[in-house]
Chain A
Amino acid sequence: MSICWSAIEITINGESASVQVPPMKRLLDVLREDLGLTGTKEGCGEGECGSCSVRMNGELVNSCLVPVLQADGARIETVEGLAIDAELHPLQKAFLECGGAQCGICTPGMLMAATQLLARNPSPSLSEIREGLAGNLCRCTGFMKIFDSVIEAAAMNGEMKNAR
């Protein structure tokens, strides 16, 4: 049995990619299996835990709920695209320094959700952070150090802007 699927074109972390896969294949599986981007994790497969969070055309999505067909022509950002060359993204730095990552399995999704939050709201309040990350479950940290990390990253971003 061999079926020839039509190509799906996506821009992934700024680079264009083309995959020939079943159109209903989950974006999560395309990222992990076809593009080798295993940074995006599966936690529940039903859009509850947010471990598979990626950005699609500037929106945060659960990639386990997105058939790749829907991502045709889309711009996808994953955890692998956060650091530029060897320089960690401010959120990555802050998660390291503040203890925002423990076992690390929710971290990629959490970082993408936090990226989305700061893109919309560069200096969120604690309650805005709580709401912005409520779709991403972490079982290790109790979230306190994740909140600290986002506040710290927002401050770093502010400093970078002021330095310019």
Chain B
Amino acid sequence: MSASPKTRIVGTAQIRKEGVDKVLGRAKYVDDLEIEGMWYGATVRSSIPRGRITGIHFSPNLPGIDWSEFVVVTAADIPGKNHIQMIAADQPCLAGGMVNHCDEAIVLIAHRDKRRLPAAVSGVRVEYEPFTAVLSIEDSEAQREIIWGDNNVFKQFHLEKGNVDSVWATAEHIVEGEYHTGAQEHLYIENNGVIAEYNEEAGIKVWGSLQCPFYVHKSLMAVFDLPADKVRVIQTETGGAFGGKEDYPSVLASHAGLLAMKARRPIKMVYDRMEDLAATTKRHPSRTRHRTAVDKNGKLLAMEIEIATDGGAYSTLSSTVLSRATLHSTGPYVCPNVRIHSKAWATNTVPYGAFRGFGAPQTIFAIERHMEQVAKAVGIDSTEIRRRNFLHDGDSTATEQIMREPVILDILLERALEESGYHAKRKAFAIENANSAIRRGMGIAAFYHGSGFTGSGERTLNSLAGIDVTVDGRVRVLVSSTEFGQGTNTILTQIAAESLGIPYEDVEMAPPDTGIVPNSGPTVASRTSMVVGKLIERAGRQLIAALRDSAGLGELYSTQDFLTACENHRAIHGTVESLCRYEAPPNIFWDDRAYRGEAYPAFAWAVYVAEVAVDTTTYSAEVTNFYAVQEVGKVLNPTLAAGQIEGGVAQGVGYALYEKVILKNGHMANNQMTNYIMPTAADVPPIAVFFEEIPFEHGAYGAKGIGELPHDGPAPAILNAIQDAIGENFTSIPLQPEDIFVRLAFVNAGEAVEA
């Protein structure tokens, strides 16, 4: 365990860097921006889940619609490749021949007056030859219709450790279970939006609400057949993202760019809520099957896990989501024999994409519900089954990664039990429940979340980031890592100020503009504080060393002395810039083919406890208290860190109990905030947050990833608590009052229920 270095700025609750602009209402989100001569764009979308386009007609004689006033773009107008460049290139920018999901973009139209657009969109009639659609994982597995590749499988992983088959015959207990999770919408309060400008000389320039400027940059190069220097992407203030603005902005930016090119004027496209909900990505639905062997004491002997995710119509990020789902599916437990088989399936629904947790919440829900059933089979307590199987330092995971950093799950569990009053409450509830229509219960979930890109991902990214000092004396952090509420601006400027030895107030972020900043990688995978932060820490030290070496900077210095030294440095070298490139921690080995080795450079660890009340009269379940205990390395800003945990827990509560995406023939039927329900201020439980800190040597000032972790644990903890309260084993989320009603009122009474 490395000692925590003494810090001045890192570890303190500095005020959010862009906070003043936000509370004054002067922060500029994309819809707040206007450009001279700008028109507005809208999208004509498919109304069927699968079929061939046989004709596109522009209704004549529509009142108030003179088509000559509109600019119209179809797939035929694309100058480069008609695909969105993600991991693969299977998703068209605009559907030309086939449509493969409802709400797929087919035609783009623009007009100077945005209020004329809705009537025009409905005046475009698309004719189809409909094909049979594949609308579920089971449909896709049946392979009656092949809609992607030659078997409907986007990606599969197979992992073997030891020999599971040698165990089944002699194991004391074998426990089987099947678990389902639904789609979940990000529901960032700011919908997707961009502004695009195009001209022959400068190329294309896009401003937008987005997470990954260089993803959009790469995609635009392909669609417009332009070199890197003719594409410029600028992130505007972004009103929430949660993974939902990782890949979709590449689609929307391409659309606005195509209209801008044809209209020869800037184009703004901002979705309204219904369009955003119907057409953009969501969390992958999943089905996970467990078969687990344990000895008479509950010690894990073998785990066989089969995972299936619904990837939607195009591959987008499904392969990497599946990878993370696979690598989190065993939970934080030691097991000598493990077999995991996982597949991401194609269906004719809107592509599922990145969402906080990225596959982990799905499989952690399954394992943490399943461990509860294993405990019952063995006849031991929920806490005991976990304690007996926790990973410790020196143990190896399913990929045979040896835990070289301290693992303190026992401490986290003890603290969670203590802070929540777990045992005392369970005892009291057991007595109270006997005479009450309100049944209370306590539930636990223990889990890890891998920080940074999976396997060799960070090496491939090869991120570059740094610090510069402008001629007018502004000290800037140079990254493409973006702020969308999680605190990038604050954390990275704290780190820079710390390593430069100057005040927090004297450091700012360079504009998130691909024309200005280097590619520090995408803002995803809980990597910004740990990985990009480390590059900034190194860049700061490197700059100070250079200034000491050749620019006369002394041991003790003020900001003014620092800036004077920077000017001396500039006089010699021309610029003041310090960039650092990613260096993998030593002894890291990952074999992508065998799917073996160091899956993640570090893990964040947590034990969460949910306290619930189930009303057996109304059948509603409510989370009444929530306790989140975690170890995320060094906490860089306690206010921001707690905010991340609380926000993630609230999303997890929604995932467990409220948020249901209802698809009808592949179209989201409840695409409104009126009927897609997230937790409100009246619904969220009090959330108590606790950190244990073990600095991680290869993360910025000891930081590990934090952003995604809190979404992993709430759903299983809540359903475990519901089982504790009413004795029912629910295996699917979202779990709504209707589901509890059906189970309590009909199934237990032995009556047949139609699914």
Contact = CB atoms under 8 A, between A and B. Distances in A.
Interface of A: 32, 37-46, 48-49, 51, 78-80, 82-83, 88, 92, 95-99, 101-108, 111, 129-131, 133-147
Among A37, A108, A129, A140, max chain B CB count under 10 A is at A140
Interface of B: 13, 15-16, 18-29, 31-32, 186-191, 237-242, 272-273, 484-487, 639-640, 642-643, 646-651, 672-674, 678, 680-682, 684, 686-687
Among B22, B28, B190, B485, max chain A CB count under 10 A is at B22
The 7 closest A-B pairs by CB, nearest first: A39-B25, A105-B239, A103-B485, A104-B22, A142-B650, A79-B25, A142-B646
A111 B20 CA distance: 13
A26 to B, nearest CB: 11
A79 B32 CA distance: 14
A11 B156 CA distance: 62
Nearest to B240: A103
23 contacts: A41-B31, A41-B239, A78-B25, A80-B26, A88-B20, A101-B23, A103-B240, A104-B19, A104-B485, A105-B29, A105-B239, A131-B681, A131-B682, A134-B680, A139-B186, A139-B678, A140-B240, A141-B647, A142-B647, A143-B646, A144-B646, A145-B639, A145-B643
Contacts of B651: 139, 142
A140 B643 contact: yes
Contacts of B28: 38
Nearest to A131: B682
B678 to A, nearest CB: 6
A103 B188 contact: yes
Given A101-B16, A130-B682, A144-B684, 13 more contacts: A40-B25, A45-B273, A51-B189, A80-B26, A98-B639, A99-B13, A99-B16, A99-B640, A101-B22, A133-B681, A135-B680, A138-B681, A142-B646
Contacts of B239: 41, 103-106
B584 to A, nearest CB: 31
A44 B643 contact: no
Given A99-B642, A103-B484, A136 B681 contact: yes
Nearest to B22: A104
Interface of chain A: mostly helix, strand, loop or mixed: loop
Nearest to A103: B485
Given A46-B672, A146-B681, A104 B18 contact: yes
Nearest to A101: B22
B485 A140 contact: yes
A92 B24 contact: yes
Contacts of A107: 22-23, 25
A1 to B, nearest CB: 9
Nearest to B485: A103
Contacts of B31: 38, 41-42
A129 B684 CA distance: 13
A88 B13 CA distance: 19
Contacts of B23: 88, 92, 95-96, 101, 104, 107, 111
A49 B26 contact: no
Contacts of A43: 189-191, 273, 673
A54 to B, nearest CB: 11
B189 A137 contact: yes
Contacts of A40: 25
Contacts of B681: 129-131, 133-134, 136, 138, 143, 146-147
Interface of chain B: mostly helix, strand, loop or mixed: loop
B717 to A, nearest CB: 15
Contacts of A80: 24-26
A52 to B, nearest CB: 11
Among A32, A43, A49, A95, max chain B CB count under 10 A is at A43
Contacts of A101: 16, 19, 22-23
Among A80, A102, A133, A137, max chain B CB count under 10 A is at A102
A38 B650 CA distance: 28
A108 B29 CA distance: 13
A78 B651 CA distance: 29
Contacts of B186: 139
Contacts of B25: 37-40, 78-80, 82, 107-108, 111
Among B19, B241, B273, B486, max chain A CB count under 10 A is at B19
Contacts of B672: 44, 46, 48
Contacts of B686: 144
Given A96-B19, A144-B687, A102 B647 contact: yes
A41 B646 contact: no
A33 to B, nearest CB: 9
A46 B20 CA distance: 28
A114 to B, nearest CB: 11
A46 B240 CA distance: 19
B272 A103 contact: no
Contacts of A99: 13, 16, 639-640, 642-643
Contact of A139 (B26, B188, B674): B188
A69 to B, nearest CB: 17
Contacts of A135: 680
A97 B678 CA distance: 26
B189 A134 contact: no
Nearest to B654: A139
Nearest to B15: A96
Given A79-B25, A95-B23, A99-B643, A137 B15 contact: no
A146 B26 CA distance: 19
A135 B682 CA distance: 9
B240 A39 contact: no
Given A38-B28, A49-B189, A145-B642, A102 B684 contact: no
Among B29, B189, B237, B273, max chain A CB count under 10 A is at B189
Nearest to A134: B682
Nearest to A40: B25
Contacts of A78: 25
A163 B681 CA distance: 32
Nearest to A94: B23
